[in-house]
Amino acid sequence: MTARRDRPASGRGSGLRSLAGQVLALEAMIALLLIVAAVLVTFQQARQDVLRDARVRSLAVAEAFAKAPGVDEALASPDPTAALQARAEQTRVATGVDFVAVLALDGTRYTDAERRLIGQKATGDLSRAVVDGESYTETFHGAPNDAVRAVVPVVDDEGRIVGMVTSGIEVQSISEVVQGRLVVLLAAGGGALLLAVGGAALVSRRLRRQTHGLGPAEMTRMKEHHEAVLHAVREGVLIVGADRRLLLANDEARRLLALPADAERRPVGELGLDPRTVELLESGRTATDEVHRAGDRLLAVSVRPTVPDGPGSGSVMTMRDTTELAALSGRAAVARGRLQLLYEAGVRIGTTLEVVRTAEELAEVAVPRFADFATVELLEPVLRGEEPPQDATLAEMRRTALTGVRAEQPLQPVGEMIRFHVPSTPMSTALAGGHAVVQEELAAAEGWRAQDPEGAARALAYGMHSLLTVPLLARGVVLGMANFWRADTPEPFGEEDLEFAEELAARAAVAIDNARRFTREHAMAVTLQRSLLPRVLPEQDAVEVAYRYLPAKAGVGGDWFDVIPLPGARVALVVGDVVGHGLHAAATMGRLRTAVHNFSTLDVPPDEILGHLDELTGRIDEEAEPAAAPGDGGRGRPEESITGATCLYAIYDPASGVCTVASAGHPGPAVVHADGRVEFPPLPPGLPLGLGLGDVPFESTELRLPEGSTLVLFTDGLLEDHGRDVGTGLRLLRRTLERPERSPEQICADVLASLLSPAPRDDIALLVARTRRLPADRIAEWEVARDPAAVSPVRNAAAAKLGEWGLDEAVFAVELILSELVTNAVRYGADPVRVRLLYDRRLVCEVSDGSSTSPHLRHAAETDEGGRGLYLVARFAERWGTRYGRRGKTIWAELRVGPDGGDGAPEAGGPASALDLDTLEKLAW
């Protein structure tokens, strides 16, 4: 030992005997093997790449030449060689291949890079091109040279194979390219070997400096001595590097700090140590016998730097367990655990706005760290979202949540009613006093045992021995109560647990009350929403309709739909969406739906309807701006507005089969044809309602729908959902609608089954309308000349048509109405004047002319010669009105016909009883 210690350091472990020398030799050998392997692999890969490139180039040149214009015609010419030899040579030179040859079907060469081969047959199997018409590449071995060649058939305009084109690169050319790359690879490998050996030498030099030239045996012996001394110490030892990562921890330190097995090389902040301990290790300062926590232990800690007064020094921490402070440490751990549990309760309780789920979260938080079992009972009004009664002392409660450390338990299950009819029970005492009550020994609780003797006996036999009950109070009102039970935990509840239980219950009660309020508001919003939506669709024959409305799980929104019968047997189909959820969105939807109904009575095109609706929406938003409140700088706080509403309005005319559609920022409809073909017609998108951009007009689009087509109108909640965008929703909707021969009700059911998620993010309105056409024999039209004498023939023709329809009882009224309307159009209107009768559920008389002047109903004086025409029309028609088109107007009148339609004749002594129709024609408006 002495001789070795006195030997000079320069002679210690020199050459391959030292650890550094052995590492250098090993690294050099590994580098050599890796570089040789890399060169071989790269050379082989290069050869494969060159061959692959030759195949691709050959096939591309052959295909391009075979499909070039005129090649098939040249092959059919008397001298293909004269026509193609020059072109083939030009192509070969331009593309860099070694040969381009044109062959006959029997393989005879028409062209070749070597003219001596022209006329000779090419060797090899060419049947794949001649017989199968297949283009392919192959590695060819034979005369004149081995090559990678491609063979492509030449096909004429009639699809016949008239020849072949072959091109390729000789194997010798490929070998020259690969050999050129081999030189580069060998040079690169040599350079890499030099770099690797140089790097290994640098590493070996640094390793020699760090190990002081020691050999492997000497280092192994030194490490064994070091570990024996370190782990024999009965104090915890930690060594932390300058980068604040753990370098070494002995057995005692691992036990005291509960360090993981892979703690070495991890930052001290990730070891789960107490924050004060982490701060001490990261600060680098010295410490002597400081007290730090480590789980349930208190440790006396000392810290010293590894290199005194040295830059970048690490630190060594020693610690010992102070067992005399164990009791104090235990109480501190309990207090810390309770604080941590309260913090977790604030995070975990109330994650949803569901009363039942919130009660379950309270029970889950308490078990198992505070109690072995926990039950939550709530009053029935709270579960329904109603206000709880003021006096809940003797009220019944329904068990809402139950959680325990074991699945089997003796307590009453969730859903049963819990009654407290014995005043001396801990539950009744807690409700009466409004504070938590602890029963340390359940066996001694006479009131609790008297309330349910059988249940109490089962609980005691199960092992329940302690109970803590606390009322759930919010705003001074009892919502329910929570009961905490202990069976497996030997320690009973004590007075020190009361404050914690009340704090936990108070936080849970606030969350339950918030959930109750949301439940009430959600129920109110659903009730309001359903009251505002159509309950029964009106009767009409233009379309067969089915619909669905589903509120979102988070609350109802502002989606709506409507079917509005219009004059002339037409029908309006409407869907809309108000952005947002809750009462405001539902109320806003009702206002907009009412406005749409009112504007529909104007009988104007859809784009004008949306224009009126947009203007109304803007006025409502302006009225929602209150005056500035004091202290807000004059800005005011605007109330909720309805900006962001969208609407799609469509009018379908069964007489013409035309559907006119306009959109205000709403998705367009889907059109399903009778054969199952689905279209999404492009519509001018328009702007949402209420954006204050009234100077941007809406646009209408006309769709001609064959009979039996289906219109599908929907809101964006059907398409968009969690993880699904509009494009994906449209594709899924198209696939669902493509199955033909389904009723609108079946289509609604299938669409919701395919696109509806278990918890929709937005509410959904779906309206499916199967179109019908008014039979041609129920429509009569006449062109009327601008001549008063033309009125009578039209009137007579209309009477004859009514006779064909079996409506003789309505002849008088129709003749009178037509006389008035046609006479007015002839006198005061403009060409063209047309008359149309429609026989649907009602009889509709329409008179159109090119003038936009609208007549007005007025009461004529006794001395007036005219002015009674519209009065008579209103008298005999069930309703009448004026509809404006792009050019001119249409005055229409509807009459009820059939069993309950009346005979249409005036009563005796009525306003028209003394007048004949020819006289009525002379009356003016």
At 458-473, the pLDDT tens digits run 999 998 999 999 998 8
Neighbouring residues of 110: CB distance < 8 A, sequence distance ≥ 6: 75, 80, 81, 84, 85, 101, 102, 103, 104, 118, 163
At 500-510, the pLDDT tens digits run 888 888 888 99
Q: Which residues pair with 847 in a beta bridge?
A: 835, 891
Contact predicate 450/411, CB 8 Å: no
Q: Is 109 helix (H, G, I), strand (E, B) or coil?
A: strand
Measured CA to CA, the distance from residue 293 to residue 188 in angstroms comes to: 60
Least confident of 552-556, 635-639, 840-844: 635-639
Least confident of 305-319, 357-371, 761-775: 305-319
Q: Which two tokens stand for residue 615?
A: 């203007």
Measured CA to CA, the distance from residue 742 to residue 731 in angstroms comes to: 19
Contact predicate 703/683, CB 8 Å: no
Contact predicate 427/445, CB 8 Å: no
Of 870 and 570, the structure prediction assigns the larger pLDDT to 570
β-pairing, 136-140 vs 236-240, is: unpaired
Of 337 and 101, the structure prediction assigns the larger pLDDT to 101
Contact predicate 592/666, CB 8 Å: no
Q: How confident is the model at residue 5 (pLDDT cuts 50, 70, 90)?
A: very low
Measured CA to CA, the distance from residue 302 to residue 280 in angstroms comes to: 10
Give yes or no for residue 867 having a pLDDT over 60.
Answer: no
Which residue in 843, 849, 798 sits closest to 827, CA to CA? 849
Encoded amino acid at 711, one letter: L
Q: Calculate what percentage of the chain has a pLDDT beyond 90.
A: 14
Q: Answer whether 0.95 is exceeded by the pTM.
A: no
Q: How confident is the model at residue 215 (pLDDT cuts 50, 70, 90)?
A: low
Measured CA to CA, the distance from residue 239 to residue 314 in angstroms comes to: 7
pLDDT value for 868: 58
Q: Is 99 helix (H, G, I), strand (E, B) or coil?
A: strand
Which residue in 430, 437, 488, 489 sits closest to 467, CA to CA? 437
Distances (CA, A) of 127 to 13, 68, 135, 343, 793: 75, 22, 11, 82, 85
pLDDT value for 747: 93
For residue 531, count CB atoms less than 10 angstroms from its CB and return exposed for 0-12, middle for 13-18, buried for 19 or more: exposed
Contact predicate 168/97, CB 8 Å: yes
Q: How confident is the model at residue 628 (pLDDT cuts 50, 70, 90)?
A: very low
668-687 average pLDDT score: 91
Q: How confident is the model at residue 586 (pLDDT cuts 50, 70, 90)?
A: confident
852-859 average pLDDT score: 65
Of 677 and 901, the structure prediction assigns the larger pLDDT to 677
How many alpha carbons lie under 13 Å from residue 905 in its C-beta half-sphere?
A: 9
Measured CA to CA, the distance from residue 61 to residue 53 in angstroms comes to: 12
Taking only Cα atoms into account, the Rg of the chain, rounded to an integer number of angstroms, comes to 48
At 868-879, the pLDDT tens digits run 567 777 788 888
Average pLDDT of the chain?
A: 80
At 58-68, the pLDDT tens digits run 888 888 888 88
